[in-house]
Amino acid sequence: MSRPRIQSLSAVTPGDLGRRHFLRGAGGAAVGVPLLEYFSGNAQAQMTPPKRVLFMTAGHSQEPSATGESWSPVATHNAALPANLSPILSPLIAHRDRLLVVDGIDNIASGLQPTNGHNGTSRTMLSAMPIKKALDANGNLLAAPPECTIGEDSAGPSIDYFLADAWKETMLSLRVGSPPDEHVRSFRMDLSRDLHEGNPQTAFTRLFQGYKGGTLSAADRLRGKRTSILDNVRGNFDRLLTKVGGEDKIRLQRHADQIRQLETSLQTVVRLVCDNPTYKAPQALTGVNFNDGDGRNDDKIVAGQLELVKMAFACQATRVAHIHFSNIQTNKFPFLNGGQDLFSIGWHGIIHRDEGTDQQRLQTMQWYTKVVADAVSLFAATPDGDKGTLLDNTLIVFMSSLRQSWHGTINLPIILAGNLGGTLKTGRYLKYNKRTTGDFFTTLLNVLDVPAKSFGWTTGARDGTPFFTGPLPGFVG
Amino acid sequence: MTEPQTPALTSVNLEGSTSMIQVRLHDARFGALVCLILSVPMLACSGSINAGSTGGGGGDRSGGNAGNGNGGNSKTGGNNNTGGISVPDCPTAVLPFSFEAVRLTDVQYRNTISSLFSFPIDIGTKYPTSSSRYAFTSFAAANDVLYADLQNILETSESIALQAVDKIAQVVSCAPTGDGVACARTFLQGFLPRAYRRPVQTAEIDHLITLYSAVRAGTDPLDFNLAIGAVLVSVLQSPQFLYRVDIGTPGVTPGLLKLDGFEVASRLSYLFWDSPPDDILKTRATKGDLGNKDVLVSEAERLLADPRARTTVARFFSEWMGASGKVFADRVAAPIAASFAPEFDRFVTDAVFDADADIGALVSAGHTFANKSLQQHYGLPVTAKDDNDWLRVDLPPKLRAGVLSKAQVAAAHAHTGDTSVILRGNFALGRLTCFDVGLPPAGAVAMNPELPPGSTQRARIEARSSIALCKSCHSAMDWMGYGMEDLDQVGRIRDTYQGNGTPVDAAGIAVPFDDATFTGTAGLASLLKANAEITGACLATQWYRFATAHTEDETESQCHITALNKAFANSSYNLKALLVGIARSDAMLFRKEVK
């Protein structure tokens, strides 16, 4: 049982100016808080709001047509972003001065093992590591690693979880689409895969559970006993584990280990800085299927999730969030076409330019950058600290696992928004040459005050590109 | 090359294997033989028929001796006159079969919870459903618990426990006095054996009493009712409840564990009913009757005669056809889409339970069950009053293809807006003949040729087949799929292709049947019926996989599946005989001992 972790310590809320703090404990019971006295309202208001990060990740390529560049704003390294950006980035034009568009970052870890177009490209995307099975017991790369299939997991944690762990935060893990199978991108510190939560209401309840203004309900009191109950459950696993072997033992042991992990996560204590947190999606989500691979309500879902991220960041329930766009096969995008499906066959075939038109491809790719623009607008309109906005203290990181329509992971599409309290000079286009996700994530960690020397796989090179060189020069500006 | 993958169906081509028929794929378009047993595994299309050893093994089928058992190198090849089935020696003593611990599927969980309480429980929707990425949702791997599932299971358990606490008088029959421990113990003595589906040990009850006592004390001591709730939350998350785990006991045969009566009872009841054993099965288990195969068979027949079996059996056939759990409301009007799956279920349950049909009828019958919406959909005379009026109707020749021509199946292997030659071909090969081509090799997608927009499906596929890497597998898949092009993406007869109006060319070639040519889905159905020794062996394989929750290894294929298939063949491929036949399999009574 780990010691309860105090999470966020400071700042004020949007609107209702927090003067109270809540703890999210192992269950409904409010936990006694000796530290409360440290944080009177005045003390908080004088503190600098903390840095936050929202990752938004997709899994599609960015080549709507066979000829011509549609993503890069066509500018030289460190130049100011042009007024019209680029076709795919055009929804972000209004936020041009708040952006960094980064080119030249390759995911070469994907090539460390055989894979189809998605399993390996996604699993290595945020970890900059090969899959577990590509390594021997000493962590060295096998001469002939096995194929990265749907069952494989990364050999390293993903950047979102790594950052949350470094900051001692709970990762707010959200998903737009069906639970990922090929497109698994996030791995916890114990390297278990994260499938993310689709329903923002459920995610809200979990993140904020435990705050109750009045008396505890029976459900709260039962939840308050989760630790004792889960201990008891693990005892039942231990009893059975002595009697089984082989695959049964592996399966049941994994389940038991995960219960221990769940127990630990329930020990996390969250300090909030806003009164009476409630959640309401901007567009009603009643009846919405959060596992819909066709993505017919993806616009409403992501709007609801952005609202939750905004609230969680503003209340400082956490500082790290990830919105994972998992639909990549059969998306229909009716919200881009007056309620009618934009096309009848799967989007996947369209992205690969088997079917569909360049205009259809561009339209769908622009939807994702529009969502980034929505996030920027929302955070820019949310107060944070004494006089700033949430955007002033938040970095939005948009990435896709693919750039080329043939499942290529060279020159990944990356957009950053927000200047982290003036740390980053935005409005620039950064064009690196053959740098890696390991270099990029190390750079990110450093600007987020995590003194990492490297991230991911650091040994050797692939096709002339070293896996790790160091932080990106000129990134801060 | 970007089609969905079904990993569990992949069967690796084992050169020199005696249990599989090595198949050489013909380049159907040019008539030349392309041997696919290549030295580079990444390039090899692992085409193999892996279905109950229909032949003697090792025989090259190019001579047209399909399924005659004359391959010659199995121990008893051709000696048993069982309708073309040869059965190798399979002493029980050395059979390494496995039957893994499997978490209760969603439907099993619901049925099991219902059996524990005398009032309706709202289970909600958080309990993790089975992955559809495996051959069957019954598979152990399809029900693995991921970390993300844990909180859902926890919250579902809490919700159920709270509903039980609200009706505690219907859950706990005793009145608590003092610390309530005695009453809690009484409750568990009755409840726990039902939850665990077997008698329990005192230590198992003691362990839960420890929890009971702990939550009644501490910082927020719970009252008796809520403490029982806490105990329920623990039980409902414990592996003894959540999983079906067979422990077994060592018997006379080293390495083989014999299951006890309650474990066998659970295997049978969850197989046929998706439910825990009923009182009759539990009584038989207590008396030790379930080690007797004749009793097992009679119990299987009893379970199968119960209406509950219809649901499970329909799901088996639906999952076999890759058509389970799909609704095609984006392709046809909602009332029509809602009728597809019921039509399929009615057809197969009628075939199995009412018509006592054989496999030939299953794959080639010329009738269906249709309501008003479906009659209109298929272009049949409308005789049904409404959509609740289901009538048995005869079908026009092109739709006389049993399960194959059911709209649910035709749609399941097509795209939203058009058919898919690849999906249908791969489905027909893998599921109907157990000819598994495996997954696209690494790099295949990147090699996908780019054609101008508006190119026909056949042009795209032919461009793809011009690439050596693709051709080896796609020649088998695509030509099978071409032959099914006479049904559109929602199972209607079509004479012209969508969009360009050119006449449909439904000439196909069935590689597993010695490159027999056929025309249309009904033509394929006739081939499947005529080659019942291949189709039947494949179905027996599929039922074995469903029943044992895993993909067999080679020895199982040689022994258990061959035995199952032999009985199936001896019954003239009667479907009910196949379903019951599993009860006579050693796979239901034993498991491998794993250190």
Reported as a single tens digit per residue, the pLDDT across A338-371 is 999 998 777 888 888 878 889 999 999 999 999 9
Exposed e or buried b for every residue in B32-71, given b needs 16+ CB within 10 A? eebebbeeeeeebbbbbbbbbbbbbbbbebeeeebbbbeb
Asked if A116 has any chain B CB less than 8 Å from its own CB, the reply is yes
- d(Cα A328, Cα A293) in Å, to the nearest integer? 8
pLDDT range class, residue B416, cuts 50, 70, 90: confident
Nearest residue of B to residue A174, measured between CA atoms: B148
Residues of chain A with pLDDT > 90, as a percent, come to 62
Tell me the β-bridge partners of B517. B509
Q: Closest CB to B147: pick one of A192, A236, A332.
A: A192
Is it the case that residue B448 has pLDDT exceeding 90? no
Quote the minimal CA–CA distance from A197 to chain B in Å: 8
Write out pLDDT tens, residues A188-216: 998 999 999 999 999 998 887 654 444 56
For the residues A295-314, what does the mean pLDDT come to? 95
Considering only A164-168, A455-459, B6-10, B465-469, which range has the smallest mean pLDDT?
A: B6-10
| Chain B residues in contact with A29 (beta carbon < 8 A) | 219-220
Q: Closest CB to A116: pick one of B98, B247, B442.
A: B442
pLDDT range class, residue B385, cuts 50, 70, 90: very high
B150 and A258 within 8 Å at the Cβ level: the answer is: yes
Write out pLDDT tens, residues A265-290: 776 555 566 766 788 899 999 999 99
- d(Cα B86, Cα A216) in Å, to the nearest integer? 69
| Chain A residues in contact with B151 (beta carbon < 8 A) | 206, 262
Asked if A334 has any chain B CB less than 8 Å from its own CB, the reply is no
Nearest residue of A to residue B231, measured between CA atoms: A229
Is it the case that residue A472 has pLDDT exceeding 80? yes
Pairing assessment for the beta strands B249-250 and B243-244 based on DSSP bridges: unpaired
Q: Closest CB to A252: pick one of B101, B204, B442.
A: B101
Instruction: Please identify among residues 341-360 of chain A the ones whose CB lies closer than 8 Å to any CB of chain B.
Output: 341, 343-346, 348-349, 352-357
Query: CA nearest B189: which of B180, B199, B197, B179?
Result: B199
Residue B92 confidence (pLDDT): 52
Write out pLDDT tens, residues A134-145: 999 889 999 999
Residue B434 confidence (pLDDT): 92
For CA atoms B526, B529, B532, B534, the dihedral sign is: positive
Among A150, A216, A220, A222, most B C-beta atoms within 10 A, so best to mutate, is: A222
Write out pLDDT tens, residues A84-139: 999 999 999 999 999 999 999 999 999 999 988 899 999 999 999 999 999 998 89
ipTM, two decimals, is 0.82
Asked if A258 has any chain B CB less than 8 Å from its own CB, the reply is yes
Residue B97 confidence (pLDDT): 61
Residue of higher predicted confidence among A30 and A392: A392
Q: Contact, B471 vs B34, CB < 8 A?
A: yes
Residue A346 confidence (pLDDT): 79
pLDDT range class, residue B523, cuts 50, 70, 90: very high
pLDDT range class, residue A256, cuts 50, 70, 90: very high
Q: Closest CB to B234: pick one of A117, A233, A246.
A: A233
- d(Cα B503, Cα A314) in Å, to the nearest integer? 62
Is it the case that residue B44 has pLDDT exceeding 50? no
**Which amino acid, one-letter code, is at B18?**
T
Q: Contact, B261 vs B302, CB < 8 A?
A: no
Dig out the tokens for B496 from the structure: 């012209």
| Chain A residues in contact with B230 (beta carbon < 8 A) | 222, 225, 228-229
Q: Closest CB to B2: pick one of A222, A294, A352.
A: A352
DSSP B84-112: TB------GGG-------EEPPHHHHHHH
| Chain B residues in contact with A248 (beta carbon < 8 A) | 100-101, 245, 594
A245 and B144 within 8 Å at the Cβ level: the answer is: no
Q: Contact, A240 vs B240, CB < 8 A?
A: yes
pLDDT range class, residue B451, cuts 50, 70, 90: low
| Chain A residues in contact with B445 (beta carbon < 8 A) | 116-117, 352, 406-407
| Residue B515 Cα to chain centre, angstroms | 28
Quote the minimal CA–CA distance from A361 to chain B in Å: 13
∠ at Cα B173 (B169, B179), nearest 5°? 95
Number of alpha carbons in the 13 Å side-chain half-sphere of residue B516 = 17
Considering only B30-44, B216-230, B320-334, B517-531, which range has the smallest mean pLDDT?
A: B30-44
For the residues A409-425, what does the mean pLDDT come to? 95
Residue A13 confidence (pLDDT): 27
B445 and A195 within 8 Å at the Cβ level: the answer is: no
| Chain B residues in contact with A229 (beta carbon < 8 A) | 211, 215, 230, 233-234, 237
Q: Contact, A301 vs A285, CB < 8 A?
A: yes
Contacts of residue A5, defined as CB under 8 A and 6 or more positions apart, other chains included, come to A168, A267, A268, A269
A252 and B243 within 8 Å at the Cβ level: the answer is: yes
**Which amino acid, one-letter code, is at A130?**
P
Dig out the tokens for A299 from the structure: 């616009």
Among A63, A255, A402, most B C-beta atoms within 10 A, so best to mutate, is: A255
Query: CA nearest B411: which of B344, B477, B498?
Result: B344
- d(Cα B173, Cα B109) in Å, to the nearest integer? 24
Residue A12 confidence (pLDDT): 24
Considering only A61-70, B107-116, B515-524, which range has the smallest mean pLDDT?
A: A61-70
Q: Closest CB to B440: pick one of A116, A249, A349.
A: A116
Residue B444 confidence (pLDDT): 67
Nearest residue of B to residue A235, measured between CA atoms: B207
> Which of the 8 DSSP states describes residue B448?
P
Is it the case that residue B484 has pLDDT exceeding 90? yes
DSSP H or E segment with residue B407: helix B407-412
For the residues B521-547, what does the mean pLDDT come to? 96
Residue A261 confidence (pLDDT): 85
pLDDT range class, residue A152, cuts 50, 70, 90: very high
B342: left (phi over 0), alpha (psi -120 to 50) or beta: alpha
Residue A19 confidence (pLDDT): 24
Considering only A192-206, B38-52, B282-296, B560-574, which range has the smallest mean pLDDT?
A: B38-52
Report chain B's mean pLDDT, rounded to a whole number.
82
Dig out the tokens for A445 from the structure: 């960690």
| Residue B366 Cα to chain centre, angstroms | 25
Write out pLDDT tens, residues B353-368: 999 999 999 999 999 9
Asked if A247 has any chain B CB less than 8 Å from its own CB, the reply is yes
Asked if A361 has any chain B CB less than 8 Å from its own CB, the reply is no
- d(Cα A282, Cα A31) in Å, to the nearest integer? 32
A116 and B146 within 8 Å at the Cβ level: the answer is: no
Q: Report how far apart, in Å, the C-alpha atoms of A248 and of each of A252, A389, B592 are.
A: 6, 52, 12
Query: CA nearest A393: which of A423, A364, A363?
Result: A423
CA dihedral A206, A207, A213, A217 (to 10 degrees): 20
**Which amino acid, one-letter code, is at A28?**
G
Q: Closest CB to B148: pick one of A194, A237, A406.
A: A194
A240 and B100 within 8 Å at the Cβ level: the answer is: no
| Chain B residues in contact with A196 (beta carbon < 8 A) | 148
Dig out the tokens for A419 from the structure: 């200047």
DSSP H or E segment with residue B461: helix B457-465
Exposed e or buried b for every residue in B225-258, given b needs 16+ CB within 10 A? bbbbbbbbbbbbbbbbbbbbbbebeeeeeeebbb
Dig out the tokens for A301 from the structure: 């879902």
For the residues B57-64, what does the mean pLDDT come to? 30
B230 and A261 within 8 Å at the Cβ level: the answer is: no
B42 and A197 within 8 Å at the Cβ level: the answer is: no
Q: Contact, B278 vs B305, CB < 8 A?
A: no
- d(Cα A126, Cα A187) in Å, to the nearest integer? 9
Contacts of residue A367, defined as CB under 8 A and 6 or more positions apart, other chains included, come to A299, A333, A336
- What's chain B's length in residues? 595
Contacts of residue A50, defined as CB under 8 A and 6 or more positions apart, other chains included, come to A8, A10, A11, A316, A319, A393
∠ at Cα B407 (B403, B413), nearest 5°? 85
Asked if A421 has any chain B CB less than 8 Å from its own CB, the reply is no
